[in-house]
C-alpha cells in the first residue's frame, strides 16, 4: 500500500465542489464577454479623458488608438485565457506540483515517427490542425482548445489535441488522414508541474525528471510517461508562456 506524505508535505486546497459540478477551468466564455466590453469602453474612455485633460481632440484620438492597439496586443499574447481548457479541480499540492482531478475528455491524436521532440511536435501539430481546420469527411471546422500535449511513444512521440467539450466522440467527423485517431479518455488524477518560458526537448526532459522526483518524494505512485502540455502558440513571449508536465497517478 502506498504511504501518503504527512500534512507538513502536502498543502490541502480549500474544500471544493464535487467534480461533476466543476466548470471549465479559466471560464474562457466569460473572459471573452468581459474583454469585448472592455475593448469598446477602455479606448473610448482613455481618448475622451486625454482629450478633456489636454483640450486636444487629436491627442484624445491618438491616446484612444494607442489603448486599442495595446488591448488587441494583450489579447493576442494571452490567447489561452480566451480558449477552452479541460475541466479539472486541484485536490492538493506537493511542493511545486498540483494534484488534479480531470473530468473525461475526447482527444484527437497522432503518432509521429521521429525521435526529435521539436520535429515531432511540429509535424503532429500541423497534422491535427489540418483536421480541425476542415480536413475531415464533413469538411467541418472545430474550435481549437489548449493545451496541445506531447508524450514519448515506442517509435517517437504522440501529439494530441483536446476536443471542445460540446463535441462528444460520436459527433466528431472522421479524419481523412488515417494517421489521426479519435479517443475518449476517462476521468484521471494527474500531477502537474507548471513552468514558464520557451521550451526545448532537453528542457522538457529535465522538467519531466523533476516532476517524477517530487511526486515520488511525496509518496505517490505514477503510471506511464511524463506528458508535456503547451498552452500558448510560438508567437507568445517567453515570459508569458504557460507550459506543464503531467504525470498520471496510479
Q: What is the mean pLDDT of residues 20-33?
A: 48
Q: Which of 239, 200, 204, 177 is nearest to 212 (CA)?
A: 204
Question: Which residues is 57 bridged to in the sheet?
Answer: none
Point out which residues pair with 250 in neighbouring strands: none
CA-CA distance, 91 to 138, in Å (whole number)?
Answer: 40
Mean of pLDDT over the chain: 80
Q: pLDDT by residue (tens digit) across 107-165?
A: 999 999 999 999 999 999 999 999 999 999 999 999 999 999 999 999 999 999 999 99
Fold of the domain built from segment(s) 88-249: Multidrug-efflux Transporter 1 Regulator Bmrr; Chain A (3.20.80)
Residue 239 burial by Cβ neighbours in a 10 Å radius (0-12, 13-18, 19+): exposed
pLDDT digits (tens, 9 = 90+) for 28-86: 655 555 545 544 565 566 556 776 777 777 766 776 677 556 545 544 455 654 689 89
The residue ranges of every structural domain in the chain are 28-82, 88-249
- Please name which of 30, 127, 18, 37 lies closest in space to residue 83, comparing C-alpha atoms: 30
Q: Rounded to two decimals, what is the model's pTM?
A: 0.74
pLDDT value at residue 20: 34
Amino acid at each position: 500500500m502506498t504511504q501518503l506524505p504527512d500534512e507538513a508535505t502536502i498543502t490541502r486546497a480549500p474544500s471544493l465542489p464535487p467534480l461533476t459540478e466543476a466548470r471549465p477551468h479559466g471560464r474562457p466564455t466569460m473572459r471573452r464577454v468581459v474583454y469585448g466590453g472592455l475593448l469598446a469602453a477602455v479606448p473610448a474612455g482613455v481618448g475622451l479623458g486625454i482629450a478633456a485633460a489636454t483640450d486636444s481632440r487629436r491627442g484624445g484620438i491618438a491616446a484612444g488608438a494607442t489603448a486599442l492597439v495595446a488591448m488587441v496586443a494583450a489579447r493576442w499574447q494571452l490567447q489561452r485565457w480566451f480558449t477552452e481548457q479541460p475541466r479539472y479541480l486541484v485536490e492538493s499540492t506537493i511542493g511545486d506540483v498540483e494534484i488534479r482531478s480531470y473530468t473525461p475528455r475526447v482527444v484527437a491524436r497522432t503518432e509521429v515517427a521521429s525521435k526529435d521532440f521539436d520535429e515531432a511536435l511540429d509535424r503532429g501539430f500541423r497534422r491535427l490542425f489540418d483536421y480541425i481546420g476542415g480536413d475531415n469527411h464533413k469538411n467541418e471546422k472545430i474550435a481549437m482548445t489548449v493545451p496541445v500535449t506531447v508524450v514519448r511513444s515506442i517509435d517517437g512521440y504522440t501529439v494530441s489535441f483536446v476536443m471542445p467539450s460540446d463535441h462528444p466522440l460520436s459527433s466528431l467527423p472522421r479524419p481523412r488522414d488515417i494517421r489521426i485517431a479519435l479517443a475518449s479518455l476517462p476521468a484521471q488524477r494527474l500531477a502537474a508541474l507548471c513552468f514558464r518560458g520557451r521550451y526545448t526537448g532537453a528542457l522538457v526532459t529535465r522538467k519531466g525528471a523533476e516532476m517524477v522526483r517530487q511526486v515520488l518524494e511525496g509518496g505517490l505512485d505514477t503510471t506511464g510517461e511524463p506528458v508535456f502540455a503547451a498552452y500558448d502558440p510560438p508567437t507568445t513571449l517567453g515570459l508569458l508562456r504557460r507550459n506543464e508536465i503531467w504525470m498520471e497517478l496510479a
